[in-house]
Structure formats: C-alpha cells, structure tokens
Structure 1
Amino acid sequence: MDTGYRIIIADDHPLFRNALHLAVTQAVPDVQLQEVDCIEQLMQLLAEQGEVDLLLLDLKMPGASGFSALASLRHLYPDLPVVMVSATEEHAVVQQAMHFGAMGFIPKSTPLPALVAALHAILAGDTWFPAGVSLSAAPADNIAERLASLTPQQFKVLTMLSEGKLNKQIAFELSVSEATVKAHVTAIFRKLNVQNRTQAVIAMSQIGEG
C-alpha cells in the first residue's frame, strides 16, 4: 500500500511555509510533510530521514549564503529532488539554480493554483521553471561522457524512459518504489544536464548517431 510522499519544506518565513503547506496538501493529499526554518535543522532532519521525495528549499535561509545550501545538498544527497523557492524571479538566478542541480524554481509570487500544478509536475518526475527562462540541453559533444557517468541502474531507467514507460511501470519492472525511480530520474537529469524527459531521451539518441 502506498504510504504517500515524504516532503520537507525549508523556509524561515512562517507565512510562506504556511502557503507551501497548503499547496502541498492540495497537490498531494496523502503526504508526510515536515518543516524546518534553518539549514542546521534541515541537515539534521535529512541525516535522520530515510528516503525523501522532495525538498522545497528557500534560497535565503539562515545558515546558508546564496546557493551554498543547494550545492552542499547536491553533493551530500545527489538523488534528492530539490526545488528552490525564492522572492526573486530574475532569470539569471533561476539559471543558477538549474546549474547547481535544482529540478525546479518556484517564485514566491506564484499563485496557489499554479503552485499546486508545479508540485504535480515535479512529483511526476518532470521539472518546473518560470516561463521564459532558457532550458537549453547539454551540447551533443558532451553527451557520451555524461552518459558514461550514469550508474547501471540509472542507464536502465533512462532506457525505459526512451521506451515511453511511466515511473509506475519502471518501478514494477525493476521491483523498486516509485520514489526510487524518481530519484534515479532526477540524478539522470542532473548528470546529463537536461531539464526534462524529452531532453534526456534526445541526449540518449544522440549517442547512436553519426
């Protein structure tokens, strides 16, 4: 039986934590939701937790400077899906979040319905960034090296993605949880420097060309 998603909200502003809490519970009724208000609490919680499906991380948090928290999390927990939330909507900041491995970026001005839709997309294994931000894929000449960096299980998941299989189907065939499949997909996106499934499949197809 599905025990639901495990999601952490890391934000030091109580009002926006409440807004995110509302959006998460609307998007995912069956959810184990935890909240922290500083990086120290977040790191302690992650160390104690098992598998976490999603971290919603405020860009400006006590205990972090700029993207230091995101960069540290990507190093310590490479398979943890992280979505940045921020009061800024500058494209350069959004692109920096992409560069450091975030699978989404949600401005704090996002209306609740759009926020719920973004969470639906992210939990389904896709990415979500504000409209108008460039989401260019990795150059083709780096694809072979990037594909070589995938673990055998990640490559197997990517192959199944290229066959059009859904997370649920992949989880069944590999005898793992959907959360594990989502973690693999997140890691694949990061390693290939792509932002969605379509770009990942295109990247894989390029290795057989020429």
Structure 2
Amino acid sequence: MNKLQILVVDDHALVREGLCQVLQGLDEPVDVLQAPNCACAFELAAQHPSLDLVLLDYDLPDMNGLDGLKILGQAHPELPILMLSGLVNPQMVRTALANGAAGILSKNGDSLELLSAVHLVLAGELYVPIELLACTKTRPQFTLRQGEVLALLLDGRSNKAIGEALALSDDTVKNHVTALLRAFNVNNRVQLVLAASRQGYATSSAASL
C-alpha cells in the first residue's frame, strides 16, 4: 500500500513531533517529513514530488507563512496546503484562502479537529474552523484545480469529459464537484451552474479569451 506523504513545516521541534504523532491516527499509513523553516520546506517539496499535503505554520523565522504559501503554490499548484496558527481570526482565514491555502487551523484545536481537517483537504475540499465559517461566507473559496473543474461545468461538460480534459480520475472529479457544491452551498449541478453564473464565474472558453 502506498503511504501518504505529508510535510510538516514549523520552527518548533516539539510541535512538529506532536503533529507527526497525531497524523499517525489517519486511516492509512503516512510518511511525515519535517521542515523547521520555509527554505527547508521548498527543498523537501522539490525532492518529493509525490507529496500529498503540507501543514504550514503561519509564522516562521525565515519567511512569513503567507509568502511561503505563495511560493509553494506557484511551484506545486496541485499540492494542497493547510495552514496552522496559534491565533486564527476571520481576516487571517480570508487572506490565507485568497492566497491559495486549502484551509487554516488553530493550534489550539484538538487532534480530532486536525485529523478531520486533513481528511477534508485530502478529499479536495476547503477547511475553515466552524466558529469562523459564518464570518468568511463572502465569495466562495476553492482551489485552482476546482476552479478549472467549475469552468468546464459551466461549459456543460460531463464528469467524464472533465476528467479527460484535465487528466483526472472519475473519483477525483466527483470529489472536486462535491467540494464546489459545498462551497456554493447548493445541492446539485444545475444549482451550482446557476449560482456560479450569477456571481460572474466564466466558462473555460470565456476564461481563455
């Protein structure tokens, strides 16, 4: 069985070790890599192209976590990044999501919350602490890949056609569609297309013009 590969980036060794222990509670085997700063994280991400997830501290000694998020996102656009912070507020959530994070989690949470967040992000969804969810319901937030799926949905493409266009499996496309339904708070594809159109999201053909 292939192991999940997760990179933990935090400047405190005890925090990294604690996260490693918690991640062993996932339903499948996991290989956890550790980095004390962004520079090391960039090297490890380049050396391990099969990484499944990054847990990235919001405050790091060599670089602001948001800047690290942007650089990792540009170099590895398919790699989901879940940010961690000792203090989480609505503005931080909005900023992290706007810069490509797959979610943000308070370090004050418990292990069950961390595992739940990791499960959601690995399934292609976004994670926001429930107590902050109501404060962040502005424009729906989703990953770059989910935006590509949405554009093809607006073109009227089927899941199979979307998978062929983006070289994704049927299950992966379904996960992205499910995440989009939740992001727009709708129940089916028709409602999703209507809601996205009303908010100005473009089809893939329009986006390429």
Fold shared, TM-score > 0.5 on shorter chain = yes
Match of 1:135 in 2: 137
Q: Is it true that 1:150 corresponds to 2:161 in the alignment? A: no
Instruction: Specify every segment of 5 or more residues in structure 2 that has no aligned partner in the other structure, as ranges.
Output: 199-209
Distance 1:102 1:80 in 2: 10
Q: Give me the identity figure in percent.
A: 21
1:151: Cα distance to partner? Answer: 7.8
Between the aligned partners of 2:158 and 2:170, the Cα distance in structure 1 is 18
Distance 1:5 1:25, change over 3 A: same
Name the residue aligned to 2:12.
13
Superposition map of 1:98-177 within 5 A = 98-131=97-130, 132-133=132-133, 134-138=136-140, 150=148, 155=152, 159-160=158-159, 176=169
SS of the residue 2:25 aligns to: helix
TM-score, normalised with respect to structure 1: 0.70
Counterpart code for 2:112: P
Alpha-carbon RMSD across the aligned residues, in angstroms, is 3.7
Deviation at 1:48, TM superposition (A): 1.2
Q: CA deviation at 1:18?
A: 1.9
Spell out, residue by residue over 1:45-93, the C-alpha distance to the aligned partner (whole angstroms, 9 max, x if none): 1111122110000011232125111111222211110000011112211
Structure 1: unaligned runs, 5 residues or longer: 140-145, 164-169, 190-194
- Counterpart CA distance in 2 for 1:45 and 1:76 is 12
What SS class does the counterpart of residue 27 from structure 1 fall into? coil
SS in 1 for 2:148: coil
What TM-score results when the alignment is normalised by the length of structure 2?
0.70
2:56–2:65 CA contact under 8 A, matched in 1: no
Q: What's 1:54 paired with?
A: 53
Cα deviation, 1:121-177, whole Å, max 9, x if unaligned, reads 2222222111223133359xxxxxx99x7389x848x8429x9xxxxxx79xx6759
* Post-superposition offset of 1:205: 4.2
Aligned residues: 180
Consecutive aligned runs of 4 or more in structure 1 exceeding 2 Å deviation: 135-139, 149-152, 158-161, 174-178, 195-209
Give distance in 2, aligned partners of 1:207 and 1:126.
17
